[in-house]
Structure 1
Amino acid sequence: MSVGLTQPIWMEMALALLILPGVWCTSWLVLYQDVCAVRGSSVVILCTYHYPETLVNKNLTVEKVMWSHGRKQFFDGPFIIDSNNRTHTATKFEYVGNKVHNCTLQIHQVEQSDSGEYAFRFETNNGGKWTGSNGAKVNISELIISMTTPKVHGPIKEGDCVNLTCMNNCSSAVMWFRNGKPLQEESSTLYLCDISFQDSGNYSCSPKHHNRPLSEVIRVSVEYSPRNTSVSVWPSSEVLEGSDVTLTCSSNANPTLNYTWFKIDGDSCLEMVSQAELQFNVTHTGNSGKYFCVVSNKHGRQNSTILSLKVKDHAEGMAAVTLTILLAVLAVVPMIVIVPMVTWHLVAHRKKTTAPKPDTEENTQTTEVHVTSPTSDCSLTEERREEEPSQQDEVPYATVHITKQRANIQQQNEEATAIYSSIWEQQAKEDLYSVVSRPTPRGKQAQDDPVIYSTVFRQ
């Protein structure tokens, strides 16, 4: 809305009004926007102001801006915002405008005492002081949350329908929260039909786009019969005589439960105590047996699972301890023996696999060649035989070294290679021929053996 301005009458402004008729109504303006806020929220009062750029041939600029709360403080204060007051430290009110045309004010976490009228005031460099005659109106509203149940004074049971309503005078769009966490519903009424125990919790609401609840909390408590009833034992279900034992009964239900402990005694049940925990000292093996608990409320009852308690005498306990120690020893001793053996085997295998191997190996075979001079040698004359009868009976020997690459042994055996050897004898220079027998390799037949020829020269 447009708000008029009031200003003390002095000569300079009077001349301006005479020269510029209508400037009072059209050029000097402050525009406010009334707001409605929910208590606890932050609100923004949108505001703009206008003034002539020049007045009596003088450029006008804004030197000071102020906001006041309450009509009595419009002109003389006190002011909640003063741009020239450096000692002003209030954090509740924040000026988010400027000294040109924007005069917006923000108020944080409003309370009922913050309702009322707010006015903007500015001062120019020619000494003028201008205030909007009517301020912006701020209304503070309360969030009212309520619940409707099938029975006004009756409990809420599973399957019932419950309606929650969040009302305020500012807006119908709200956000709902359960236990502080936002829900998807945005209408002013939250419908909880076919309600279950999982819907129990603390509900609250706030205006839309607020990330925290602002209303009071309303409790929704759904009542139901016992479920998931069980028992537990401490320290163990097998104990020695003289030990303290605690049996605990647990269950989910609303409202609170009544507990009763029982011990199965043959075909009957012996009632023990009426509390959630059963504590006793097992003085003898007669305390062994089966135990269970019964829980109940006004909506129903449920039995727990059965717990078997076994009490051992000291002799049985010592036997159990001895057996445990024996089993532990039997489990540890083999490991002490096996682990070193496995370690030694792995180390030996690693050394074997990492030992260096030559790329080629040579096998040297030494073959002793028995060279026998033939009895009839066509190359020798009878005269020569008579002159050297003794030499004919001599048997020369030669040692032949046969060197073969390992990779070629099989090929040489198959090809029956002829090997020649030269033997020099100083007494005669004649050729002698002899057959050299080579040892038969393992796995080869005699007919496959190669024939080795040797040439013997006599000198």
Structure 2
Amino acid sequence: MEMNLAFFILPGVLCTTWHVKYQPNKICASKGSSVIIPCTYEYPNSNSLVEVMWSRGRAHFYDGPFIYKENKAISNTSSKFEYIGKNDKNCSLKINHIEHTDSGEYAFRFLTTNNGMWTGRDGTKVTVSDTIISIMRPEENETIKEGKNVSLICENNCTSEVIWFKNNEPLPERASVIFFSDISSHDSGNYSCATKHHSSSLSDVFRISVEYEPKNTSVSVRPAPEVIRGSNVTLTCSSNANPAVDIFLWYKIDGDHCLKMGSQAKLQLNNAETAHSGHYFCVVSNKHGRQNSTVLTLKVKEKAMGMAETWLIATISALSTIFIFIALTVAWYFVGNRKKNAAPKTVPAENVMTADVHITRPISDFNLIYEEPSEEDVTYTTVYINTKHNRNMK
């Protein structure tokens, strides 16, 4: 009778000291994140722990299969499920990189000495939610053009607290919606989001490509803006545009008119002539608009002379100058002597008037500075002119 009483009392005593508690009993996890299922348990101090195990799904709470099991002989080293309840009375389980297939109800079971065993039948329910990024624009399927209003939305059923990334760099925005007012080409990029406390639960990447008309159109030249006649010259037209430029037109300014030169991104001038000198520009366009480039001035010069040619021309010029100087000097010398040695012309007395005449020697053609004649260079001649006729003349 005492034995039966003890038998009935013992289970009652044991029941007051055996339990498993889960807190919370519902967990929402973001796909790709790591989740901890908090758990505590109790058993009589007279017993010793033999084995711990975790199972998923009510049908496996007691007999398995178990997703985690550990005892003195077997140690589960799965990287997916990690038992972190190393301290006594702590039975928490960590699920790494959780997926949709990990959704379900989880329960903890343990065994002790004296054939003791216990299962927390009311397990923790885990649901897995995707982090989804979407876009809202004025018209569905409309291209995102510069100047439009666009919104990016990050959705997760577990939380509204998110973090944003652009090209893998974090953004300051923390709201679940990013609003772009008057969106520009600088907003183009790869966007993603994640829940605030689980940055590994990234959404899929959403690419924003803002379309715009051509900008910053310019012309460059190789090898240089000034080239020697006969050189090969390449003019290149560059522009920023989305979608890319699909039409190129080249023009050369000719007075008040423009001459069309080509319709490719590059204008090739092979064996350039001096006639190719001038002002060039290009016009580009895509489906959103067009733009003129800056103007580039090309100068094609005659071929530069070599050293030998330069010396030859310089020598010829110098000899020519010397020859001309000698010829002029000789000519001046003979002209001067001829005038000096010439006999004075006799003037008939009856036709001569009296006058005083100053005669100086001629000025050299090479002397460009006029000098006053000195006293000794002047010859004074008195000429008597008799205006009366000879009486004896018939």
Asked if TM exceeds 0.5, the reply is yes
- 2:267 matched residue in structure 1: 278
* Aligned-pair CA distance for 1:292: 1.2
One of 124, 128, 151 as aligned partner of 1:136:
124
Q: Which sections of structure 2, spanning at least 5 residues, go unmatched?
A: 312-394
- 1:60 matched residue in structure 2: 47
5 Å matches for 1:35-74?
Answer: 35-53=27-45, 59-74=46-61
- 1:208 matched residue in structure 2: 196
**Compared CA separation, residues 17 and 104, structure 1 to 2 (3 A):** farther
Q: In the alignment, is the contact (CA less than 8 A) between 1:62 and 1:124 conserved in 2?
A: yes
Distance of 1:295 and 1:302 partners within structure 2: 6
Q: In the alignment, is the contact (CA less than 8 A) between 1:117 and 1:135 conserved in 2?
A: yes
Q: Deviations over 1:378-418 (max 9, x none)?
A: xxxxxxxxxxxxxxxxxxxxxxxxxxxxxxxxxxxxxxxxx
Q: Which amino acid aligns with 1:296?
A: S
One of 102, 126, 132 as aligned partner of 2:90:
102
Q: In the alignment, is the contact (CA less than 8 A) between 1:238 and 1:311 conserved in 2?
A: yes
Q: Which amino acid aligns with 2:287?
A: K
Distance of 2:283 and 2:7 partners within structure 1: 95
Q: Which amino acid aligns with 2:178?
A: L
Q: Deviations over 1:247-300 (max 9, x none)?
A: 222222222223222222333222223232223423433333222111222332
Q: Which amino acid aligns with 2:216?
A: N
Q: RMSD in angstroms over aligned alpha carbons?
A: 2.7
- 1:308 matched residue in structure 2: 297
Q: In the alignment, is the contact (CA less than 8 A) between 1:178 and 1:204 conserved in 2?
A: yes
- 2:276 matched residue in structure 1: 287
Q: In the alignment, is the contact (CA less than 8 A) between 1:243 and 1:282 conserved in 2?
A: yes
- 2:19 matched residue in structure 1: 29
**Compared CA separation, residues 45 and 154, structure 1 to 2 (3 A):** same
5 Å matches for 1:10-409?
Answer: 18-19=9-10, 21=12, 23-24=14-15, 26-32=16-22, 33=24, 34-53=26-45, 59-84=46-71, 88-98=76-86, 100-212=88-200, 214-257=202-245, 258-314=247-303, 316=304, 318=306
Distance of 2:50 and 2:216 partners within structure 1: 74
Determine helix, strand or coil for the equivalent of 2:88: coil
**Compared CA separation, residues 275 and 99, structure 1 to 2 (3 A):** same
**Compared CA separation, residues 262 and 80, structure 1 to 2 (3 A):** same
Q: In the alignment, is the contact (CA less than 8 A) between 2:34 and 2:198 conserved in 1?
A: no
Q: In the alignment, is the contact (CA less than 8 A) between 2:214 and 2:242 conserved in 1?
A: yes
Q: Which amino acid aligns with 2:266?
A: E
Larger radius of gyration: 1
Distance of 1:123 and 1:213 partners within structure 2: 36
Q: In the alignment, is the contact (CA less than 8 A) between 1:180 and 1:213 conserved in 2?
A: no
* Aligned-pair CA distance for 1:102: 0.8
Q: In the alignment, is the contact (CA less than 8 A) between 2:99 and 2:128 conserved in 1?
A: yes
Determine helix, strand or coil for the equivalent of 2:158: coil
Q: In the alignment, is the contact (CA less than 8 A) between 1:36 and 1:170 conserved in 2?
A: yes
Distance of 1:150 and 1:237 partners within structure 2: 48
| Residue-pair matches, total | 303
Q: Deviations over 1:106-142 (max 9, x none)?
A: 1111111111122212121333232222322110111
Distance of 2:248 and 2:201 partners within structure 1: 39
Q: In the alignment, is the contact (CA less than 8 A) between 2:232 and 2:272 conserved in 1?
A: no
* Aligned-pair CA distance for 1:17: 5.5
Determine helix, strand or coil for the equivalent of 1:83: strand
Q: Deviations over 1:427-446 (max 9, x none)?
A: xxxxxxxxxxxxxxxxxxxx
* Aligned-pair CA distance for 1:45: 1.0
Q: Deviations over 1:65-111 (max 9, x none)?
A: 22222333322333222223656332111111125111111111111
Distance of 1:213 and 1:241 partners within structure 2: 65
5 Å matches for 1:418-437?
Answer: none
- Range that drifts further, 123-132 or 175-184: 123-132
TM-score (normalised: structure 2): 0.70
